[in-house]
Structure 1
Amino acid sequence: MFRIALLRPAFAQAGHASKLFNQTKTFASLAEEVRSDSTFHIPVVDFSKFRRARDKAEKKRSADEVVTAFKEVGFVYLKDHGISDEVVQNAFIKSADFFRLPSEAKAKLAWEDPRSNRGYVQQGRERVTQSSDPAEIAALRAKAPDSKESMEIGRDWDATWKNQWPQEKDVPGFKSTMLSFFQTCHELHVSVMSSVALGLGLHEEFFADKIQEQYHNLRLLSYPSIPVSALKEEGTARAGIHSDYGSLTFVFQDDVGGLEVQNPHSGKFHPATPIPGTIVVNVGDLLARWSNDVLRSTRHRVVGPSREKYGSLEMAPARQSIAFFCNPNGTAHISALPTCVSEKAPAKYDPVNTEQYIVRRLSDTYS
């Protein structure tokens, strides 16, 4: 049975993650702390302070915490975010039910088109990378494919692209659970983007009409148990080094671990150790472009289990996660925000269309 870090009453390892969870250092010092690998950490932000703020000043202080984390690290652990443990647990259970289907049943739902970005992706088909060179990506895929399988789900009312659902009798409650979870994550996305707007000196509702189309992607991920030795070969990983494409990503982890975040100052990778009750939230490329790189789209990867936690196991334990990739409207044109440009900091990027940008990146990623 898989284990979900979000639902455990206490974290199993007191060391590094407990230190993160109990951190009391001020965000004012974060810029200095993250420059050194010895003090680098992903901040923990209590989002209830934003959701339940009693006045604008309190809401602004909370928004500043979120934006400071995104400026300096690009990642944050969001706690008290409003999504219940029971809702997350149910999504993990239904996800596991889906991946237990026979291969031939999943293959009938195969991912087919980057414009749709829906359906089942078998192990080895995707190779996430920063490269945009088709030949280089093909070589990486052949040498060290990502050791995972996934199920991609989009907005279900799309007039052009349809989700690919398993038969209800095969995975009872799967469709209804995922559609509800998709909507729940979108609502949290709206709240977090409101905090980003305030933290960047914009009106709280600045992004409201730029994200309401729900042009998002819910990705269920299953990393099978594989020999640890297979993850120690050059270039291998459960998911290769990459940044995400959209505005924000919400990552729900089980307690196996393996997600690592690159210190943007040193290049060294640090574990994003699962912390119960939190969601890992990170900035994607489009939000970085939108903010003229004021907010960081930080590279990350998924590797094998930590030696400290699992010792010298021969087989890496199976891992599950759920990622909700938040995107601006497909029709949105992303150009530098007015509060993120100046004479000293002119716009770095040409405007891009959300749909065209994401489809191009997906086309590079998949075989």
Structure 2
Amino acid sequence: MGSIAPERTDSAEFTPRLYPPFPLGTEPVAHLDTFSLAELQSNDLTEHARLFKTCQNQGFFYLDFTDTSVETLPQDAEAIGRLSEEVFKLTMSDKMRYKLTSQKPNSILGYKVAGWTKTDARGTPDTAEFMNVGKDDILDNPTRTPTPLPDLVFEPANRNLLARYQASCHRTGLDIMSILATQLGLAADAFEDKHRLNEPSDDHVRMTRGPPRKDASMPEIQTPGHTDFGTITILFNWLGGLQVWSEPSRGNFHQLFDSAPSNQTGTTVAEWLWVKPKPGHAIVNLGDAAVKFTGGVLCSGRHRVIPAPGEQGLLPRYSIVYFVRPEDKCVLKRLKGGRVPPLKEGEEEPELTAQQWILQQALQLRDGVEKGKVEA
């Protein structure tokens, strides 16, 4: 919005087909399960049970789009990657017009400048920049207040691309949650009325750019260790850099910073594992809301992003993420029935909406200060 023609800078950086391969011998690598979208959609009950087990024990998996002609998500993600390259070539003064919270108090939509979040207890800033493009702004859903975004995001071809991508990601995420609901012994649509596409929520596409590595030892943290706020996340990336924590989270949300917990002898009991990108595959993970809705039966995966290993780390790293999150007005309480454990006698859950809870979590991550577990 606005009529000022933004300045552009250098030539295109985003050319996935020219990226060097993920280097062999990079260790330790996460061994994530792979699921075919076509097989899941064909009601393969063996695969459904395997998916449920993975979401109980790890919370991260690959979703294979290579054997279906229906979904265009990998191609659309690459197109949005090229759009994000144009977005991040805007001058800093222009990008700062869209800074998070600058025009919408307490909003998590818009532009996140590098350094907004902290990566350790010393306050070391992160190195990645984001542009968070809300579902409601693109799809013309009712919104709290429209989010200021660069004009090029609203150019007809780009807006149509983003609308198609958001709707497809949203549907894919809920199809997965429907499988998990059935495996939990709940109605297949148990998550549907908490994640309606046309209702206001913090669902968004995140365009991310991480800068090339500055140091061979890779000390920079592009995104600090965290678990996602929402229900399910769909990620496409073309370079390494994503790392997952080897132990799942079942409610100790947002353990900040990157020190590994130790046992009584001082021996590290968990570690960061590299996630290798796979062409034609999304990387999918559950978030904290999925843990909350299921009383800890499902787990969320803690993860972070650092510069890619090997020659890949010499290039800027782009990624496209879609977050499926509960509707603003959804009260975050566990579902009832099936294999979801009931509350203990006398136990109560606070009346906290998804909008309140997500903002609380985002501010905690931004501040880089451990404020205690969020009881929500």
- TM bucket, shorter chain: 0.7 to 0.9
**Residue aligning to 2:38:** 48
Q: Percent identity of the aligned residues?
A: 22
User: Are 1:284 and 2:282 an aligned pair?
Assistant: no
Offset of residue 83 of structure 1: 3.3
Offset of residue 67 of structure 1: 1.6
Amino acid at match of 1:357: W
Offset of residue 123 of structure 1: 1.1
Change (3 A) 1:147 1:38: closer
**Residue aligning to 1:152:** 132
Offset of residue 167 of structure 1: 2.1
The SS at the match of 1:76 is: strand
The correspondence of residues 333-352 of structure 1 with structure 2, limited to 5 A, is: 333-337=331-335, 338-342=337-341, 350-351=349-350, 352=352
**Residue aligning to 2:183:** 199
CA contact (8 A) 1:283 1:297 kept: yes
Alignment match of 2:231 (pick from 234, 241, 247)? 247
**Residue aligning to 1:65:** 50
**Residue aligning to 1:91:** 80
The SS at the match of 2:50 is: helix
The SS at the match of 1:228 is: coil
Amino acid at match of 2:46: R
- Whole-Å separation in 2 of the counterparts to 1:252 and 1:94: 14
CA contact (8 A) 1:244 1:283 kept: yes
In the alignment, structure 2 segments of 5+ residues that lack a partner are: 1-12, 249-268, 368-376
User: Are 1:2 and 2:40 an aligned pair?
Assistant: no
Amino acid at match of 1:148: A
User: Are 1:110 and 2:94 an aligned pair?
Assistant: no
Offset of residue 84 of structure 1: 3.9
1:4-44 alpha-carbon deviations (Å, 9 max, x no partner) = 3xx79x99459579xxxxxxxxxxxxxxxxxxx98962111
TM-score by length of 2: 0.75
CA contact (8 A) 2:52 2:180 kept: yes
- Whole-Å separation in 2 of the counterparts to 1:226 and 1:347: 52
Offset of residue 161 of structure 1: 2.4
- Whole-Å separation in 2 of the counterparts to 1:45 and 1:16: 25
- Whole-Å separation in 2 of the counterparts to 1:321 and 1:38: 22
The SS at the match of 1:334 is: coil
CA contact (8 A) 2:184 2:340 kept: no
Alignment match of 1:304 (pick from 280, 283, 307)? 307
Change (3 A) 1:304 1:38: closer
CA contact (8 A) 1:114 1:362 kept: no
CA contact (8 A) 1:247 1:328 kept: yes
Change (3 A) 1:253 1:261: same
Amino acid at match of 2:100: W
Offset of residue 223 of structure 1: 0.6
**Residue aligning to 1:364:** 364
Aligned length: 320
- Whole-Å separation in 2 of the counterparts to 1:276 and 1:201: 34
Alignment match of 2:326 (pick from 314, 328, 342)? 328
Alignment match of 1:263 (pick from 229, 233, 246)? 246
Change (3 A) 1:221 1:71: same
Change (3 A) 1:183 1:341: closer
**Residue aligning to 1:319:** 317
**Residue aligning to 1:354:** 354
CA contact (8 A) 1:292 1:349 kept: no
Offset of residue 260 of structure 1: 0.5
Change (3 A) 1:223 1:289: same
In the alignment, structure 1 segments of 5+ residues that lack a partner are: 18-36, 130-135
- Whole-Å separation in 1 of the counterparts to 2:129 and 2:23: 31
**Residue aligning to 2:62:** 77
Amino acid at match of 1:65: R
CA contact (8 A) 2:295 2:341 kept: no
Change (3 A) 1:341 1:169: closer
User: Are 1:176 and 2:160 an aligned pair?
Assistant: yes
Higher normalized helix content (fraction of residues): 1
Bigger drift between 108-117 and 245-254 goes to 108-117
CA contact (8 A) 1:217 1:324 kept: yes
RMSD: 3.2
